[in-house]
Chain A
């Protein structure tokens, strides 16, 4: 596609439910990042994938968070047993390689009620 696509654009969920967020990277991009942006705050690194290498999961805030990516295609970020503090915009970005500019999607706004 022309850009990074994320779905859904908005998600409202009840506390305790699981949610799955999807990211379609730019075709040919080997690296994929997930970030979280709380209201009025900066971007917080969660995880990145590079090709078939083991992902860097060092930013995941708890074991309720997990992410998968198959090859250089779609990635899903899963949050289990959601809490109100998980409410944020979740941003995905992809880049041709790890050391080149990353292009962001529009984000998924998650609201936990």
Chain B
């Protein structure tokens, strides 16, 4: 069974304090790894797709990287508006998306 573990569960940052979120996975035949952002009361918002080890994607202050066992979401110089829960999901041979429990990031001004 596919397993996705995200750490830490919660992260409190000062504005401008860079940090990284981890997503480790166990999956048979990875098709893709997806990062989403979820704000309270809303559906997940798509951020990145990574398909193979060594791949990197960037968007504003966010950068996602992928190895054979884990993915990192780096937040550079975060702002309060980056506060959200960040979700990682993997897609394997059966095409189902298996989600981690998420990391809740709070950025203080």
Contacts and interface: CB of A to CB of B under 8 A. Distances in A.
A78 B36 CA distance: 27
Contacts of A4: 43
A30 B99 CA distance: 21
Contacts, number: 55
A25 interface: no
Interface string B49-93: 100000000000000000000000000000000000001010100
Interface residues of B, number: 22
Interface of A: 4, 31, 33, 35, 41-43, 45, 48, 50, 56, 58-59, 91, 93, 98-107
Given A56-B94, A99-B91, A91 B99 contact: no
B96 A45 contact: yes
Contacts of A42: 87, 99-102
